[in-house]
Amino acid sequence: MDEFAHLIQPAALPAILERTAALAFPMPSEPRTDAMLRVLAASKPGGHLLELGTGTGLSTAWLLDRMDRAARLISIDVDPGPREVAREILGSDPRLEIVTIDAAAFPRASMEKNLI
């Protein structure tokens, strides 16, 4: 039984999955977690969300899938390689900002740039 057959996946997911496999990216997100993130994003209309670890954008796609138009997502990752997949596939979404920075440095840098 395919427990994910009933889930409607984000439109961008097949392209991200294909690129993730081609990169042999070792840290893809887990579908159950991604589905939960989508529900949480939907529960915060106009929310300002922060994702630590963009990776190739798998979780990012799920979050964006149910965010409303007023919501914003900042996704940060220290590794620009996998992050480029997310930028190429999801980067045109105006609700998303992808930042290349170490998570430990983000709070200070974001305050200096008025991101938070």
The pLDDT score that the predictor gives to residue 104 is 82
Number of domains in the chain: 1
For residue 93, give the nearest of 114, 74, 110 by alpha carbon: 74
**What does pLDDT average to over the chain?**
89
CATH of the domain at 109: 3.40.50.150
Structural domain boundaries, residue 89: 48-116
Instruction: Give how far the C-alpha of residue 35 lies from the chain's centroid of Cα atoms, to the nearest Å.
Output: 12
Task: Please give the model's pTM, rounded to 2 decimal places.
Answer: 0.87
Task: Please tell me what DSSP assigns to residue 102.
Answer: -
Nearest to 34 by CA among 66, 72, 75: 66
Question: Does 108 fall in a domain?
Answer: yes
Q: Indicate whether 24 belongs to any domain.
A: no
Residue 61, domain member (yes or no): yes
Q: What is the pLDDT of residues 73-112, one digit of tens each?
A: 999 999 999 999 999 999 999 999 999 988 888 776 665 6
Q: Which amino acid is it at 23? A: L
What proportion of the chain, given as a percentage, has pLDDT over 90?
A: 72
Closest CA to 7 of 24, 25, 44, 32: 32
Q: Is residue 30 assigned to a domain?
A: no
pLDDT band at 1 (very low <50, low <70, confident <90, very high): very low
